[in-house]
Structures are given as structure tokens and as C-alpha cells.
Amino acid sequence: MLCAALYATMLQPSPELPTLQDQQRRAIVAKVAEHLRQGYVFPKLADEAAVRIASLEEGGKYRSLATPAAFAERLSRDLREVTRDGHLAVVVDRSKHETSAKDPVAEWEAAGREANGGITEVRILPGNVGYLRVTGLYDPAIARPAIGAAFVFLQNTRALVLDLRDNGGGHPETGGLITAHFVPAGTVTLRFEYRPERKTMEDPTPEATAGPRYLDRPVAVLVGRRTYSGGEAIAYGLQSLKRAKVYGTRSGGAANPWEPRSLPHGFMLQLPSGRPVSPITGTNWEGVGVLPDVPVSKGDPIERARLDLISQAK
């Protein structure tokens, strides 16, 4: 399972890329269809999506899309119309076109350091309620010290607000590390079912945390439309365990982990080959998002959660 944020720097279209020819678009569509049938998590939808894009290509619907960016965007939209999968996409691989393209791993690590490992705000609200804002899930080696320091700082609070409204996901290990602070060691929040191996893997939280566990006090999690992927996994897991109540608005709705698949002419397919399943709900948040227990579309969700937590705290 790969995090979308890691590849964001190498998957940006370049304005200097050459225009596409009919035979190039045809070859890309054919390879996308092949990858779908071989590895997409839902075989029936894979076949439907493959048939759909092949039909559109044969009918000339992609002929006017001369730029790589426009073609990738349209192809992605057509795939998602069939599958409703937020992670399934065709993208332009910048690293295949630009000799000066930077190392995406180095850029990802630099972004993580700049963002303090994703821990961008830690404070204590009135009433001794802790507040922790996590805006991304970066490399655990970078994020772990900041996560540990945050939980040390918050260890004597009465309750906690975990703000994931700007968390677009990232490294799954870091998401598991954050979750681990709120549940007993080894708790399984999600299982992953993969294709083509058809194997199921449990994803228990790690035994060791970065800081003191936060087990015996109420927790509120804030989500919104910019909460995505791994950020949603934290919220959904804690909600399904009834370890936390979720406040805010519905999240983005992208659950299925993806892997990169090479396509001709400098394109790449983000191919979801598995899906997370909660052992409690038997499903996940793909396409529907994490639904708040307490919807807050107007006003301040931090203050709403704070007041509720004070009434719950011992």
C-alpha cells in the first residue's frame, strides 16, 4: 500500500509535454484496461470500467484531448464514474518526462520536516481540554518524535480534540501510530483484503507508542471534506470502536489502498488492489466518507466538541 502524498511531486503534469497521438491514447487505454482486469480490487467493476473506457476510445471521445493532463483527467473521471473509487486515477508521471525532476522521496521527507511531521498545532483549551491538529501522515521516522512530544504535552488533560480536517492521508504506519495512543496495544481497527492474491491481512496498532497512551478520557475527532484516505482511517477506526465521537462534516471518501502501475508514454495508473474492512462494521468509508456523529456545518466544531467533552470528562 502506497501513500498518495509521496507520489504527488512526481505525478504533476508538465506544460512542456508533447501532444498525444491517437495510437498513443489507444495504447494507454488498452494498458489501463489490462491492469484493471488483472488487479483492481473489485473484478466486476474492473471489467465494467475497462469496457467503458475502451468503448469511449473506439468512439473517438478522447480524440480532442491532445494534452497529457487533459487526457489523464478525463480518463480518471470516466473510471471513477463506474467504480466510485477516490484513489483510482491515471496521472502523468513527471519523472518520466523531466530529466531535472526532483527525487520524490527527498521532496516528501523535506515536506514532512517542514510540517513538523504533520503535528502542526498542540495546545490546551479552556477546561483543560487538549487540542491536537494533524495535517498529514509523514514518514514515521520524521513524525514519531513530534507525535511523542505532543502526547507528553497533552498527558494531563481531561479530554482531547483530534483535528483531522486538513489531513489528506499519507504513510499508513504513521496513521496506525497515532491511533495506537487511544486504544490498547494490538487493537485491530481495520483488516485489508487484497486482490489478486485474495489474501486478508489484519492491521493491529503497534505495541509501542511514541508517547503516553490516552486511554481513559473522552476524545472527539474533527473531520471535513479535506479529510482523506489515511486521515479517514484514523477517524473511522476510532469511531467504529466507539473510542471517539466524530464532529464536523462528511469526509472525502477514499479508502482503498493503491499501488502504481506503469502505463505507456509516461503515464501511471493509481490502482487500488485492496480494501480496508472494519471488523466491527464489516465495511469502510469508500465513496461515502466518514459520517459525523455530531454534524457541525456552521459555527466552530472545536468549541462544540470542547463543550461536549467537558460534560463527559470525569
Residue 106 lies in a domain: no
- Region 123-141: mean pLDDT is 97
Regarding whether 122 and 84 lie in a shared domain, the answer is no
DSSP code, position 118: G
Regarding whether 41 and 91 lie in a shared domain, the answer is yes
| pLDDT, position 11 | 46
Residue 103 lies in a domain: no
Strand partners, 268: 91, 262
Given a contact cutoff of 8 angstroms between Cβ atoms, the answer to whether 155 and 211 are in contact is: yes
Residue 107 lies in a domain: no
For 288-297, write each residue's pLDDT tens digit: 999 999 999 9
| pLDDT, position 98 | 61
Regarding whether 188 and 60 lie in a shared domain, the answer is no
Residue 300 lies in a domain: yes
Regarding whether 202 and 122 lie in a shared domain, the answer is yes
Q: What proportion of the chain, given as a percentage, has pLDDT over 70?
A: 91
Residue 274 lies in a domain: no
| pLDDT, position 60 | 95
This prediction's pTM? 0.87
Given a contact cutoff of 8 angstroms between Cβ atoms, the answer to whether 211 and 178 are in contact is: no
Name the burial class of residue 145, with classes exposed (0-12), middle (13-18) and buried (19+) by CB atoms within 10 angstroms of its CB.
Answer: middle
Q: Which of 45, 63, 96 is the last residue of a domain?
A: 96
Domains identified in the chain, total number: 2
Please report, as a single letter, which amino acid is at residue 126.
P
| pLDDT, position 101 | 59
Regarding whether 137 and 67 lie in a shared domain, the answer is no
Q: Which of 65, 96, 127 is the last residue of a domain?
A: 96
Residue 303 lies in a domain: yes
Of 10-19, 23-32, 141-150, 264-273, minimum mean pLDDT range: 10-19
Of 14-18, 60-64, 201-205, 280-284, minimum mean pLDDT range: 14-18
Residue 262 lies in a domain: no
Residue 275 lies in a domain: no
Q: How confident is the model at residue 8 (pLDDT cuts 50, 70, 90)?
A: very low
| pLDDT, position 13 | 45
Regarding whether 170 and 79 lie in a shared domain, the answer is no
Regarding whether 91 and 119 lie in a shared domain, the answer is no
* Strands 129-134 and 119-125, sheet pairing: antiparallel
| pLDDT, position 314 | 67
| pLDDT, position 100 | 55
| pLDDT, position 175 | 96
| pLDDT, position 207 | 84
Please give the Cα distance from 5 to 143 (Å, whole number): 15
Angstrom CA distances, 141 to 60, 105, 107, 232, stand at 48, 13, 15, 22
Please give the Cα distance from 305 to 302 (Å, whole number): 5
Regarding whether 306 and 185 lie in a shared domain, the answer is yes
Regarding whether 128 and 91 lie in a shared domain, the answer is no
- Region 140-165: mean pLDDT is 97
For 65-82, write each residue's pLDDT tens digit: 989 999 999 999 999 999
CATH number, domain with residue 121: 3.90.226.10
Looking at every residue in the chain, the average pLDDT score rounds to 91
For 164-202, write each residue's pLDDT tens digit: 999 999 999 999 999 999 999 999 999 999 886 667 787
Given a contact cutoff of 8 angstroms between Cβ atoms, the answer to whether 134 and 163 are in contact is: yes
Regarding whether 142 and 206 lie in a shared domain, the answer is yes
For residue 219, give the H/E element and its range. Answer: strand 219-223
Cα-trace Rg, the chain: 21
Asked if the model's pLDDT at residue 268 lies above 80, the reply is: yes
For 81-121, write each residue's pLDDT tens digit: 999 999 999 999 876 666 555 677 788 889 999 999 999 99
113-119 long-range contacts, CB within 8 A, separation 24+: 113/142, 116/146, 117/142, 117/143, 117/144, 117/145, 117/146, 117/147, 117/174, 118/143, 118/146, 118/167, 118/170, 118/174, 119/143, 119/146, 119/147, 119/149, 119/150
Please give the Cα distance from 278 to 190 (Å, whole number): 5
| pLDDT, position 17 | 65
Asked if the model's pLDDT at residue 15 lies above 60, the reply is: no
Asked if the model's pLDDT at residue 255 lies above 60, the reply is: yes
Sequence-distant (6+) residues with CB within 8 A of 58 are: none
| Cell numbers 483488516: residue | 191
Range of the domain at 84: 4-96
Regarding whether 243 and 141 lie in a shared domain, the answer is yes
Asked if the model's pLDDT at residue 308 lies above 80, the reply is: yes
| Cell numbers 477514499: residue | 254
Q: How confident is the model at residue 19 (pLDDT cuts 50, 70, 90)?
A: confident
Regarding whether 299 and 151 lie in a shared domain, the answer is yes
